[in-house]
A and B are shown apart, each in its own frame.
Chain A
Amino acid sequence: MTAAGQSQRKSSGRAGRTIVADRVATAVLWGLGAFVLLLLGGIIVHFVLASIGFMSLSFVFGDPSESALGGVGPLLFNSVYMLVLAMLIAVPLGILAGIYMSEYAGDNRVTDSIRFAEEAISSVPSIVVGLFGLIAFVNLTHWGFTAMGGALALTLFNLPLMARLCEQALRAVPADERSASLALGATKWQTIRHVVLPLAIPGIVTGIILTAGRVFGEAAALLFTAGISTPTGYNFANLNIFDHNSPWSPFRPATTLSVYIWKTNSEGLGSFVQQIGDGASALLLATVLIFNVGARFLGRILTRRLTAA
């Protein structure tokens, strides 16, 4: 609409310069938008090309090796395992905290300090969370480097994110739904459980997946909590979770895929550092894409299922 107005105006002198400035600015801003897409596209293409030569099932699921290329199987398993462990703690706690902040919290100092804590934890560098984990979950507990320690560290600083996303999902539920339920004689908790929470599920699921994506790629907080030893020869048939040799045990060291990228690079192990770095990064990137698309897709399906009916 502005363009039409401008073209009718005589472009001379100062007015002309103003219009040129406007055109240039518009072009630059479009350029920035294109830049982001090109950068993302470039990164994806780069990793596809870099890993196309060796990416195979034996790389994704095989054991790491120092002499040959080997694989990242146990590390990928650890990433998934740790993700599940961390989310088992963070999701219930986050939903509960979100319920309080959305449904109960009054405008008072307690709420204010919880809000402050939320922001404060979110801004703590992940390496510092790792340091804290080293004292709290490695030294004080005498666990040593464990998956549980790593998962607790991950929970710690993803709890605020989870709580905030749940709070937003709950707040988005229309007030009429609550009033109607309360007017029918339901108690506040009955209203929350049977009316508000079901309606907020699509938003909560999206929140869970977004948090999961962040947990999956985290490395700095895990260096000193879950350890950086290279795992090999996992025996998945050993289902005894109390046996520290079992890959299913939470109390064993658990180096994840992202930590492995850092480790192989910083220690410069073997002659396959480049392939391991490219391949593992490609896998991480693919996971991030899947999480992102999955969150959108699932959110949309659940919204249609649960609310339109």
Chain B
Amino acid sequence: MAVVGDAPVLTGLCVRPAFRDRLDLPRRVVFLAALSMVGIVFILLGFIAWQGVQLFVQNGVPISSVLSPTWSPEDAPVSFGILPFVLATIGVTGVAVLISTPLSVGLALFLSEVAPRRAREIVQPALEIFVGIPSVVWGWLGLTILVPILATNFRWLGFTVGFSWFAGSVVLSIMILPTITTITYDAFRAVPQELRTGSLALGTTRWQMIRHILLPAARAGTLTAIVLGMTRAAGEALAVQMVIGNRPTIPTSLTQPVTTLTSQITLDMGNTVFGAPDNNVLWTMGLILLLISMLSVILIRAMNRSGKRA
């Protein structure tokens, strides 16, 4: 495009371009629209970071208090330990990814390698509808179906109330399934057809080809998908909050109620006074979530770059 647009002007035929053309207003306008996204990132980071450090600056809460394992913002001795929430976020996200990854990668393999066109044309739109289902609906389903099942049929495993780390992970694993599947699928499609035919021509079965050729070739893409899925799971708020039980203790068992960073923010933001330490600590948690998501974007970029070089 650029080549055609920048073709040398026939100086004899063309007078000096008019001011309007030199200004090229449309270009400036669309550029500003695109640049506004960079502005949003800076403003977002700035505001959340500013409010996120107020706990230490304005309220003078020592960092050691925040890193402690005790969450007791109201009763003396007051302690703002967010360690239970951080660990619960890691735990809930980790188990969700453990459940979701095999299912998603398998589903992506099905779509890309096994399914005939007709089957793919049914399953892919179904996945797109999955993406569109709002998180409160997933939370509601978890609350009204999964939690009662855990509480009645699996009490012998230790699910006393049903609301649990495990329930949160299951709900999240289904929510991130389409994310991981779509990106892994794209990674599989990007593997050259010659690698497949080459392998099959040597007499391997399709499964051998998938295991020894396809999966290694698409490793970078699969990892990207998992990281994206994790990011989404760690940031999901309402669905998790509805099924997780919300008890601010260090998570020790899958059957136990826990509280994640997101669910604590959701629950307490409306019940605390803006500027008070028990409110500001929620902003600190928000800042942590924001930093996690930024880091994961940087990580994915680095992975893609090294994937391209290799």
Contacts and interface: CB of A to CB of B under 8 A. Distances in A.
Interface of A: 2, 5-6, 18-19, 21-22, 25-26, 28-30, 32-33, 35-37, 39-40, 43, 46, 93, 96-97, 99-101, 103-106, 110, 113-114, 116-121, 123-129, 131-132, 134-136, 139, 156, 159-160, 163, 175, 178-179, 182-183, 187-189, 192, 210, 213-214, 216-220, 223-224, 228, 258-259, 261-262, 265-266, 274, 277-278, 281, 284-285, 288-289, 291-292, 296
B136 interface: yes
Nearest to B141: A43
A99 to B, nearest CB: 5
Nearest to A175: B1
B37 A159 contact: yes
Contacts of A182: 4-5
User: In the complex, which of the residues A219, A274, A291 has the most CB atoms of chain B within 10 Å of its own CB atom?
Assistant: A219
A97 B34 contact: yes
A228 B33 CA distance: 32
Given A123-B296, A220-B237, A22 B207 contact: yes
A187 B26 CA distance: 11
B130 interface: yes
Nearest to B286: A131
B132 A292 contact: yes
A183 to B, nearest CB: 7
Contacts of B293: 120, 123-125, 128
Contacts of B38: 113-114, 117
A30 B122 contact: no
Nearest to B105: A32
Given A97-B36, A156-B40, A125 B236 contact: yes
Contacts of B144: 274, 277-278
11 contacts: A33-B110, A43-B133, A100-B27, A104-B27, A123-B297, A125-B290, A156-B44, A217-B134, A220-B237, A224-B269, A288-B132
A285 B141 CA distance: 12
A285 B21 CA distance: 49
B22 to A, nearest CB: 12
Given A29-B109, A96-B33, 4 more contacts: A2-B205, A37-B123, A123-B232, A258-B136
A72 to B, nearest CB: 13
Interface in B5-58: 5, 21, 24, 26-27, 29-31, 33-38, 40-41, 43-44, 47-48, 51
Nearest to B110: A29
Contacts of B242: 262, 265-266
B237 A281 contact: no
A179 B29 contact: no
Contact of A121 (B5, B29, B40): B40
A258 B266 contact: no
Contacts of B218: none
Contacts of A128: 44, 48, 235, 286, 289-290, 293
Shortest beta-carbon contacts, A-B, top 5? A125-B235, A217-B134, A96-B33, A22-B205, A100-B30
Nearest to A295: B128
Nearest to A113: B38
Contact of B34 (A18, A96, A218, A228): A96
A10 B21 CA distance: 75
Interface in B67-101: none
B136 A217 contact: yes
Contacts of A178: 1, 4
Contacts of B270: 223-224, 228
A156 B37 CA distance: 8
Nearest to B235: A125
B3 to A, nearest CB: 9
Contact of A288 (B48, B129, B203): B129
A286 B90 CA distance: 33
B265 interface: yes
B273 interface: no
Contacts of B30: 96-97, 99-100, 103-104
B191 interface: no
User: In the complex, which of the residues B30, B125, B144, B231 has the most CB atoms of chain A within 10 Å of its own CB atom?
Assistant: B30
A261 B205 contact: no
B132 A291 contact: yes
Interface in B106-134: 106-107, 109-111, 113-115, 119, 122-123, 125-130, 132-134
B273 to A, nearest CB: 12
B40 A40 contact: no
Nearest to A212: B132
Contacts of B219: none
A131 B274 CA distance: 12
Contacts of A37: 122-123, 126
Contacts of B130: 36, 40
